[in-house]
Amino acid sequence: MPLVEKPDNTGIEDVIDCILKGESSLYETIVRRYDKYLYKIGRSYGFDHQATEDLMQECFVNAYIHLKDFEKRSTFKTWLTRIMVHQCYHKKHQSKYKNETYEIDEVYEDTPPAFFSSQKEPDEFVSNNELKYNLEEALLHIPEDYRMVFTLRELNGMSIHDTAEALSISENNVKVRLNRAHTMLRHEIEKTYTSEEIFEFNLIYCDALVARVMSTIHALENPHIRDQLL
């Protein structure tokens, strides 16, 4: 039974409105809700755990600074994902994505992510004691363009439309890259593991990240520091 996620903006827009009115402590809600998605993005770009945490912190802080710029044209998850992808992408290299034209199998917007096979909600999942090293290595051997589409669509459960928007590519390119990624990985991953077991962000790390992000945000309440970053 495919995992059905709750609508991304459920309750988040109200939280954002409160934060913009001065209740900065509520930003912790956003960090805890989206940290696991950003972690998978950072690891899929090939960054180690510490570098990924640093990128996540930068992403959350940048999102907080520019929260007033979120115009609700897309979901907040997509908006936040674009910030994280931009940071990872430019940290690693400056080359641009290329357009591909390949024969593709039919992939539709309502086709459920193939690897969301767990019946548990993400928040109910209890992470394993160690990462599935062999699967992570297999995923990291996929070319980056395909790996990122796979991560956003299959591991983070984003729609084809939102994946295309987050990566600034066409929906057709999403379908192409997703099919190629399936060809490379599906048999090995699906036979043993669920998506939640890949690049799992343990709750122990989550608490530490939340503390770092909120500490920075509290510092930003000092107008002199905030003006330097804007």
SS3 215: helix
100-199, CATH topology level: Arc Repressor Mutant, subunit A (1.10.10)
Q: Tell me the CATH architecture of domain 9-95+202-230.
A: Orthogonal Bundle (1.10)
- Give the residue extent of every domain in the chain: 9-95+202-230, 100-199
pLDDT in tens, 116-146: 444 444 433 334 444 456 667 778 888 999 9
Average pLDDT over residues 193-222: 76
Which is nearest to 40 in space by CA: 196, 161, 228, 162?
Answer: 196
Range scoring the smallest mean pLDDT among 65-69, 93-97, 209-213: 93-97
- One DSSP character per residue, 119-148 reads SS-GGGPPPPSS--HHHHHHHHTS-HHHHH
pLDDT score of 184 more than 90: no
Write down the pLDDT at residue 110: 53
Query: Quick check: 117 and 14 in contact, CB under 8 A?
Result: no
Would the pTM of this model clear 0.95, i.e. be above it?
A: no
Task: Return d(Cα 8, Cα 102) in angstroms, integer.
Answer: 32
Length of the chain, in residues: 230
Q: How far is CA 192 from CA 100, 129, 195, in A?
A: 31, 17, 10
Query: Quick check: 68 and 20 in contact, CB under 8 A?
Result: yes
